[in-house]
Structure 1
Amino acid sequence: MQNDTLLEAGASAIEVENEGANGDIVVVCEHASRLVPAKLGDLGLNAVALESHIAWDPGALELSRRLSSNLDAVLVYQRYSRLVYDCNRPPEAVSAIPEKSEIFQIPGNKDISEAQRQARVNEIYLPFRDGLFGILSYRRSTGRPTILVTIHSFTPIYFGERREVEIGILHDSDSRFADAMLSEAQRQTQKYVVKRNQPYGPADGVTHTLLKHGIANSIPNVMIEVRNDLLTSANEDLAIATYLTTLIEKAASAMRASHTAN
């Protein structure tokens, strides 16, 4: 990158769909895209790497869109690859602009200048952070109940080891909504292997969005991870979306009932 700007004129790091939705849920997909700004070329990676899970969460945006439709929810997602900047990481985190992801070295992220790093923060992270904050703040100012749900996918094999968990329900210090979803999952016929804080948890640094936008503002929140081999066809995607819609709706109803009772 030869100057201080990263994105082309008029380009935006944040996309919002179904902004006028009437539901309580705000769906966020931070790893929706594998797009790399033209000024960064291919980050020194081949096409296979740029299409793999290191660059994005395959299937996560399609799943997020189905949930947005099912739940009449606002959808907010990042338009650029997490290899450019991971919006689920704060600027001070090394993993926000990773030099290595699993077995892949990221040459385009190695030894970048402070100005280049700051350009990514300024043009990708801050607009995404501020855009999401604005949506949540507006809902609060108008008295709209809100539950923050972030959607991710994960690879079934990581560093050569098979992951048996199929759906992870993740939380940080505020486990209210995760608890309600997990309770509902236990009541249902076990269609999927559902686990708490797997395959990642707070210690892995994956709960930045929950902390920054949920917990800091007393908004119930949860992060959902789905193994990406379950999102490779329209039928599988529909089945997962239907299952998660039920868990989310039942959890939201349980929380409303608890709030009314108190």
Structure 2
Amino acid sequence: MQANPERDDSDAVEVLNPQGRGAALILCEHASNHIPARYHGLGLKESDRTSHAAWDPGARDVALGLMRALDAPLIASTVSRLVYDCNRPPEAPSAMPERSEVIEVPGNRDLSEAARRERVDAVYTPFCNAVSALTATRKAAGLVTHLITIHSFTPLYYGKPRDCEIGILHDSDSRLADAMLSEAHRLPTRVIRRNDPYGPEDGVTHSLKLHGIAQGLANVMIEIRNELLVGAEAQHAMIDELLTLLRPAMATLDQQAPGGTHA
């Protein structure tokens, strides 16, 4: 399955519900496995282009559900993370990886500086500009903003099973993560962990640092094991579970802020 396969190859980011007045701003950096034609499929096999290496299956659907439930703006990349991973800075090798887990990416080998720059300009910069513009608009309007990034992960990594079901990830600002984890007792059947299956040491908190911490916004990255997102029923159930954590967590932060609100 492919997310949004019919789109203009020049359109690298989608901004949905930009007028949303809720307290959340949702990002989905790995929403699509679309590879624009000019990259010739990166030399990948079809099975690789549709695998978790190319995107986060189910993440966009969950992000859309949260967008609707929270009246939140949603900013999503429309290009595969194998072309450019919008959760990585340009200098990171993993921004345009030559290998993702066991999958080789021939179209990313020996990229020239000009080729790397083209991808930064075509994919990463528009995504970052969209986030910056919407953050500034919300600040000017006096809206509370909590940054939430939505991801999914594979249950097997290098053949090793992962038992974590929902990961609550943070970098140096753990306010929103702490508040969510304090609500984890509401989902007693779920395996919910802090900074699992990834953490800051894995280089996965770039968006949190750039778009959240640097802007003074409480922030969190949510990772969901992707077999829990197969089909609409499972996705709707997961959206409800995440709302069980998010709604009271955001309310707690708002109550703790001076005057009951913060930007």
SS in 2 for 1:82: coil
Q: TM-score, normalised by structure 2?
A: 0.94
Match of 1:3 in 2: none
* Cα offsets for 1:9-66 (capped at 9, x unmatched): 8822110111111101011000000000101111111110000000000000001000
C-alpha RMSD of the superposition: 1.4
Match of 2:160 in 1: 161
Deviation at 1:260, TM superposition (A): 4.6
SS in 2 for 1:168: strand
Q: Show the 5 A alignment for 1:177-188.
A: 177-186=176-185, 188=186
How far apart in 1 are the matches of 2:174 and 2:9?
Answer: 39
Q: TM-score, normalised by structure 1?
A: 0.94
- Letter of the 1:133 counterpart: S
CA shift in 2, pair 1:79/1:180, >3 Å: same
User: Is structure 2 residue 108 aligned with structure 1 residue 109?
Assistant: yes
How far apart in 2 are the matches of 1:176 and 1:65?
Answer: 24
User: Is structure 2 residue 123 aligned with structure 1 residue 124?
Assistant: yes
Match of 2:257 in 1: 259
User: Is structure 2 residue 173 aligned with structure 1 residue 197?
Assistant: no
Matched-pair contact (CA < 8 Å) for 2:21–2:143: no
Q: Show the 5 A alignment for 1:21-170.
A: 21-170=20-169
Unaligned runs of 5+ in 2: 1-6
SS in 2 for 1:41: helix
CA shift in 2, pair 1:10/1:226, >3 Å: closer
How far apart in 2 are the matches of 1:90 and 1:183?
Answer: 31
* Cα offsets for 1:69-90 (capped at 9, x unmatched): 1111101000000000000000
How far apart in 1 are the matches of 2:149 and 2:197?
Answer: 15
SS in 2 for 1:92: coil
How far apart in 1 are the matches of 2:110 and 2:73?
Answer: 38
CA shift in 2, pair 1:141/1:261, >3 Å: closer
Matched-pair contact (CA < 8 Å) for 2:23–2:144: yes
- Letter of the 2:73 counterpart: V
- Matched residues, number: 254
How far apart in 1 are the matches of 2:86 and 2:215?
Answer: 18
Unaligned runs of 5+ in 1: 1-7
* Cα offsets for 1:145-182 (capped at 9, x unmatched): 10000000000000000000000000000000000000
CA shift in 2, pair 1:52/1:9, >3 Å: closer
Match of 1:5 in 2: none
SS in 1 for 2:227: helix
CA shift in 2, pair 1:151/1:189, >3 Å: closer
